[in-house]
Chain A
Amino acid sequence: MKTFVQGGVMALALTTGMQVGADEAANLVINGETEITVRTEAPEHLDNLSKIYSGWIFRSDETQALQMDDFDNPGMIFVDQGRDAWAVAEGSEGKACADCHNEPESLADARATYPKWNDEAEEVRTLAMQINGCRTEQMGAEAWKYDGSDMLNMEALLSSVGRGTPINVAIDGPAQSMWEQGRDLYYTRTGQLDLSCANCHEDNYGNYIRADHLSQGQINGFPVYRLKNAKLNGAHSRFKGCVRDTRAETYGVGSEEFIALELYVASRGNGLSVEGPSVRN
Chain B
Amino acid sequence: MKRTMLTGAICILATMTIAGEVAPDDVVFSEYGEVEKSLSGLEGDPTTGKEIMVARGKGNCIACHQVTALEEFPFHGEVGPTLDGIAERRNAAELRGIVANAKMTYDGTIMPAFYKVSGFTRPGDAFTGNAADGPLSPLLTAQEIEDVVAYLQTLSE
Residues of A within 8 A of B (CB): 3-4, 7, 10-11, 14, 16-17, 19, 188-195, 199-200, 203-204, 207-211, 240, 243-250
Contact = CB atoms under 8 A, between A and B. Distances in A.
Q: DSSP majority for the A interface? A: loop
Contacts of B132: 249
Given A17-B73, A207-B78, A208-B75, A195 B127 contact: no
B8 interface: no
Contacts of A246: 124
Contacts of A200: 110
A211 B124 CA distance: 24
Contacts of A211: 74-75
A248 B123 contact: yes
A248 B124 contact: yes
B79 A207 contact: yes
Size category, B interface = 20 to 34
Considering residues A7, A203, A246, which has the most beta carbons from chain B within 10 angstroms of its beta carbon?
A246
B63 A192 contact: no
A17 B78 CA distance: 12
Given A199-B110, A209-B77, A247 B124 contact: yes
Contacts of B63: 209-210
18 contacts: A16-B74, A190-B122, A191-B122, A192-B139, A194-B112, A194-B113, A194-B120, A194-B121, A208-B78, A208-B79, A209-B63, A209-B79, A210-B56, A210-B60, A244-B127, A248-B122, A248-B123, A249-B123
B120 A192 contact: yes
Contacts of A244: 124, 127-129
Contacts of A14: 74
Contacts of B130: 249
A188 B56 contact: no
Given A7-B74, A17-B72, A248-B121, 5 more contacts: A16-B74, A190-B120, A191-B120, A191-B121, A248-B124
B103 to A, nearest CB: 8
Contacts of B139: 192-193
B61 to A, nearest CB: 10
Nearest to A240: B129
B131 interface: yes
B62 interface: yes
Contacts of B131: 249
Given A204-B110, A209-B63, A244-B128, A3 B136 contact: no
